[in-house]
Structure 1
Amino acid sequence: MSLTHEASRESANSTPARRPRNGRPPRRGAETRAGYAFLAPWLLGFITLTAGPMIASLYLSFTNFHPIRDWGWVGFDNFTRLFDDPRFMDSVQVTGLYAVVGTPIKLAAALGVAMLLNNRRRGQGTYRSLFYAPSLIGASVSIAIIWKAMFNDQGIVDEIGQFFGMKPGGWVGNPDMTLPMMILLAVWQFGAPMVIFLAGLKQIPNELYEAAEVDGAGPLRKFFRITLPMLSPVLFFNLVLETINSFQVFASAFIISGGKGGPANSTLFYTLYLYQRGFGQGQLGYAAAMAWLLVIVVGIITLIFFKTSKYWVHYGGETR
């Protein structure tokens, strides 16, 4: 009798506890609520500061919104008017040339310096900090003012150029030299991609270079056969990031040109012209259309990069 009672008791103890009707234990539900509570500030900020303004700007892009005048729905008129605007086409040309020329030069400079800093030497940390410093301060208004003073008429760059036989006049007031000056400013800020390249170089096994040396490979062959293929994922990341950044140049162009994009529209970058139409002339609907066209173009370029990456980006352990 006692054995039967003991067995029934063990059977009752081994019966699984009932789960709530929603299928989740009470602790799991509490953790879920706590997770949503911690996410609430970010969600609130995303909805009010990111998603909300984006939806509002998309709506405004189909209107002729003006802060002090009557406005209404115009459909796709803003988008069609863009291509009849000569200053818009100038801004597209300036920004496109800046991205196509400046981005490769900046990445080449970043990779070259990263390869130099990859070798062990005394004071290596100091050199890395000095090369990275321009990326921390290069986009600031104060540096843009200093840069303008350096390249202006009678500036230090103009004085050095005259010493070597160049004509006086400065770069700021010369339409043929302002865009190269802006590209040079972008290249000067190569610290961020340099650090990323340096981290990628640290991941390449030295055994590959040693084996290449045994086979008689020189520096160029090792660079194109080992360094570039092994560094291609990092190169792809920097290429996408820097290309997107090149379409967002504003502060330096605004300071150097005084907000006008001159001379002769040579510094009229896309975002600067967007600012002029939206906040200078109050044509916020037109500016919103420009902003969304920029989003679409950058998205298409990024998609092309990702689609073509399978032909030249090689990941470790990947078989082709």
Structure 2
Amino acid sequence: MSSTTRPTTSQMADNVSKQIRKKTLISRINSRWESPVAGYLFIGPWLIGFLALTLYPMIQSLYYSFTDFSLLNAPNWIGTRNYEKILTVDDKFLKSLKVTFLYVIGSVPLRLIAALLIAVLLNKNVRGISFYRTAIYFPSLIGGSIAVSLLWKNMFSRDGFINDILHLFGVQGTGWTNNPDTALGTLVLLVVWQFGSAMVIFLGGLKQIPTDLYEASSVDGAKKISQFFRITLPMLSPSIYFNLIMGFIGSFQMFTPALIITNNGGPMSSTFVYALYLYERAFGRMEMGYASALAWIMLIIIVIVTSTISLTSKYWVFYESETGRKR
């Protein structure tokens, strides 16, 4: 008959001591990671990049905007002379600003409408829907690159793919990118075609809408169109608000398509957007101080537009967590 060996008092004390030391060590590690030092350690790479690559260049460009700095000469302080010249004398500033606003007004609403309609169509549980979503989103991955711009330019040329399609229907096309009346429209179509990122945001918003709302409205006799305007759009208003803000910011900075597709803003400056004019001043004429002033004026315009949208959002953006519209 075997006997069970019981731990002695000293062994029990050692075990308790080991457990206490283990718990103390764990608590020290947890408290160390809960301190602000750990948070700054993780955010450190981003913070360094923000300070060195964003904040410092912004402050430097603000200083240069009050100088006559060029790449060949040291900056010389001239006060607000650059801003005065831009706002009172520079005709190209007004021309490029007008073209930019035309582009923004045409591209942002069309892109949102296209993204919303496609998102509604893709919000179905059908076979192969994941493939369709990926295929439709793909153009947004390549973005407004030089390769895409060259492809778009060839498609809308006089001998391009678009005119070949129109020829099948007996329509004689023109050189769309070489016509002052249609050149800006080709750039608008390019950004509308790349609606994938906005579509994904809308898809996420559609997934969050409770199906009970549609079922209850169907019982009351509501049609699909009525459900779309009375349920879908109000519940998607936060997503619309986000996409609207991001669309305006991105459209105001459009540069590569206008440079490549229409040969630096042509024809007859019909696509001479603001970013092209800034580029011309900075690297064409080496007027970095003047270009910095142009950049800060554009920043102010973007802030004014986005702030206006934000101020008006309380009248049309609906949040489900609240009892009514945002106040």
TM-score, normalised on structure 1? Answer: 0.87
Aligned residue number for residue 111 of structure 1: 116
Deviations 1:63-86 (A, max 9, x none): 111122465212111112113222
Please tell me the residue identity of whatever aligns with 1:154.
D
Q: 1:219 maps to what in 2?
A: 224
Q: Residues 43-192 of structure 1 correspond to what in structure 2 (within 5 A)? A: 43-69=47-73, 71-83=75-87, 84-192=89-197
Answering whether residue 226 of structure 2 is matched by residue 242 of structure 1, we say: no
| Contact kept? 2:66, 2:78, Cα under 8 Å | yes
1:269 matched residue in structure 2:
273
Structure 1 residue ranges without an equivalent (≥5) = 1-24
- Contact (CA 8 Å) 2:245, 2:309: kept in 1 or not? yes
Distance, in Å, in 2 between the alignment partners of 1:125 and 1:106 is 22
The equivalent residue for 1:294 is 298
**In the TM superposition, what is the alpha-carbon distance from 1:247 to its structure 2 partner?**
0.6
**Structure 2 residue matching 1:176: 3-state secondary structure:** coil
Give 1:51's aligned amino acid: L
Equivalent pair of 2:157/2:176 in contact (CA under 8 Å):
yes
Equivalent pair of 1:65/1:283 in contact (CA under 8 Å): yes
The answer to whether the 8 Å contact 2:262/2:271 transfers is: yes
Contact (CA 8 Å) 1:135, 1:189: kept in 2 or not? yes
Secondary structure of 1:241's counterpart equals: helix
1:82, 1:88 within 8 Å by CA — same for their partners in 2?
yes
2:196 is matched by which residue type in structure 1? G
Secondary structure of the residue that 1:172 maps to in structure 2?
helix
- Structure 2 counterpart of 1:303: 307
Aligned amino acid, residue 299 of structure 2? V
The answer to whether the Cα contact below 8 Å between 1:106 and 1:190 also exists between their aligned partners in 2 is: yes
Displacement of 1:34 in angstroms is 4.2
SS at match of 2:246: helix
1:59 Cα deviation after fit: 0.2
1:210 Cα shift?
A: 1.1
Change (3 A) 1:271 1:311: same
Q: CA deviation at 1:29?
A: 6.8
Structure 1 counterpart of 2:6:
none
Q: Which residue of 1 aligns with 2:201?
A: 196
Equivalent residue letter for 1:102: S
Q: Which whole-Å CA distance do the structure 1 matches of 2:81 and 2:248 have between them?
A: 29
Aligned residue identity for 2:293: A
CA RMSD of the aligned region, Å? 1.9
Q: What whole-Å deviation, never above 9, does each CA across 1:89-134 have from its counterpart, x for those lacking one?
A: 1111111111111101110000001001112111101110111011
Give ranges in structure 2 of 5+ residues lacking alignment.
1-27
* 1:32-82 alpha-carbon deviations (Å, 9 max, x no partner): 444434443333222211111111000000111112246521211111211
